């Protein structure tokens, strides 16, 4: 459905709803005896219809009808009508609701028509002055230079918020353009808008976007945002995201060291097998092996037996650490099965750290005592036996 047809459809729906609910509806028709309507008359009629729809929506019991009519009213309204609606909110004629359109959406609509007039209105109205920054999201998209020039009309808090909205409006820009714009703004050290830019760059173009994000992270190391955005990329291509981030080990070692663990854990929470497969393809150094227990613990949330089977291929102490991590996870949702695995297939001597927790998790006191008796430390064993009734 085209945008024009969609608008016509909404108008028809709202007018039909108006008739069904007893609202007054104005119909506009031209008979052969009537002269053609001028543009001014058509605009006046549309504004009048919008005004009726908005006011009637305040009392309709149906939330959906209220939203439909209010949205229709705002989309049809001219500047004078938008000011009248905002004045109505300010003096209590209209009640603010947690529905669309809120007053902020109406201010944004006003800014689409004439951002300078919208800014003058909100700054001149005590009730709306705190929302002055809202104008700048729309303004920056149509004329960023005028928007920047108007920043001097704002107070400190509104200005900072407006600058972030200007940056948000340019989240599609290449890195150099974005940084140049950021450097022109007074609060450029505030990185609040940077995440929106980085996420959008990776969403639209993961590979090239990632290059920009990684370069920004290297140029501005205090951010260390890279792993967050690599994680965003991993939603669609986990292997490519991990490979790309792994390249930072040489080009940006500080970023890599600070963030790689978080990225790999983030990937493993959603795609544990994919993360493990990637890790298995890396050189078997100490740092990669150290991640295995964490990834297997996350896999245990979905398939603890698969996680335990994978742990069996790890070397000595790493295997024991992984098995304990898996059993500790498993005991939270299937404590009996976790206990049976340990007693039938595990090595109690290497699983001493998890045994007390697993014993205390058992709903069956006899099984809890069997587990407690596998604890080699006398003091810990007696303490657990006392708690489980042994």
Model confidence over 143-185: pLDDT tens digits? 999 999 999 898 888 888 888 888 888 877 777 787 788 778 8
pLDDT-derived band at 383 (thresholds 50, 70, 90) equals very high
pLDDT the model gives residue 370? 94
Report DSSP letters for 101-169, one per residue: SPHHHHHHHHHHH-HHHHHHHHHT-TTTGGGGGGHHHHHHHH-HHHHHHGGGGS-HHHHHHHHHHHHHH
pLDDT the model gives residue 359? 95
pLDDT the model gives residue 245? 75
Return the residue matching tokens 């009392």: 59
Which is more confident, 315 or 220?
A: 315
Q: How do the domains of the chain map onto residue ranges?
A: 170-260, 271-330, 342-390
Q: How confident is the prediction for the chain on average, in pLDDT?
A: 77
pLDDT, one tens digit per residue, over 336-355 is 999 999 999 999 999 999 99
Report DSSP letters for 317-331, one per residue: HHHHHHHHHHHHHHT
Residue of 315, 323, 325, 309 lying closest to 288 (CA atoms): 315
| % pLDDT > 70, the chain | 71
Position 189 pLDDT exceeds 90:
no
Measured CA to CA, the distance from residue 267 to residue 276 in angstroms comes to: 10
Taking residues 1-28, report their average pLDDT.
Answer: 42
pLDDT the model gives residue 326? 95
For residue 211, count CB atoms less than 10 angstroms from its CB and return exposed for 0-12, middle for 13-18, buried for 19 or more.
middle
pLDDT, one tens digit per residue, over 35-83 is 444 566 666 655 555 454 566 656 666 777 777 777 777 887 888 988 9
Question: 322-349 burial string, b = 16+ CB within 10 Å, else e?
Answer: bbbbbbbbbbeeebeebbebbeeebeee
pLDDT the model gives residue 346? 94
């Amino acid at each position: 459905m085209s945008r024009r047809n969609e608008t016509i459809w909404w108008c028809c729906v709202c007018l039909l709803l108006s008739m069904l609910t007893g609202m007054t509806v104005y119909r506009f028709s031209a008979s052969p005896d009537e002269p053609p309507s001028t543009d001014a008359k058509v605009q006046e009629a549309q504004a009048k219809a919008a005004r009726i729809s908005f006011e009637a929506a305040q009392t309709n019991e149906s939330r959906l009808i209220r939203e439909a009519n209010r949205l229709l009213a705002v989309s049809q309204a001219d500047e004078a009508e938008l000011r009248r609606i905002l004045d109505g909110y300010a003096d209590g004629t209209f009640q603010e609701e947690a529905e669309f359109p809120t007053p902020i959406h109406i201010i944004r609509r006003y800014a689409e028509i004439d951002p300078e007039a919208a800014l003058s209105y909100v700054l001149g109205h005590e009730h709306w002055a705190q929302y002055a920054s809202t104008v700048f999201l729309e303004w920056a998209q149509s004329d960023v230079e005028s928007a920047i020039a108007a920043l001097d009309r704002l107070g400190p808090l509104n200005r900072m918020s407006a600058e972030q909205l200007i940056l948000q409006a340019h989240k599609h820009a290449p890195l150099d353009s974005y940084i140049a714009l950021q450097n022109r703004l007074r609060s450029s050290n505030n990185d609040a808008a940077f995440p929106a830019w980085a996420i959008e760059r990776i969403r639209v173009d993961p590979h090239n976007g990632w290059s920009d994000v990684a370069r920004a992270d290297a140029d501005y190391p205090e951010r260390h945002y890279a792993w967050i955005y690599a994680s965003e990329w991993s939603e669609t291509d986990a292997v490519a995201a991990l490979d790309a981030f792994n390249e930072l080990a040489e080009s940006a070692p500080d970023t890599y060291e600070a963030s790689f663990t978080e990225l790999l854990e983030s990937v493993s929470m959603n795609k544990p097998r994919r993360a493990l497969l990637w890790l298995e393809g890396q050189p078997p150094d100490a740092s990669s092996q150290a991640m295995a227990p964490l990834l297997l613990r996350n896999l245990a949330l979905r398939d603890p037996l698969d996680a335990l089977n994978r742990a069996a291929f790890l070397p000595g102490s790493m295997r024991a650490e992984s098995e304990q991590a898996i059993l500790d996870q498993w005991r939270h949702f299937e404590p009996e099965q976790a206990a049976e695995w340990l007693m039938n297939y595990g090595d109690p001597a290497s699983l001493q750290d998890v045994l007390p927790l697993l014993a205390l998790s058992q709903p069956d006191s006899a099984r809890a005592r069997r587990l407690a008796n596998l604890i080699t430390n006398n003091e810990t064993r007696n303490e657990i036996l006392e708690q489980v009734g042994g």
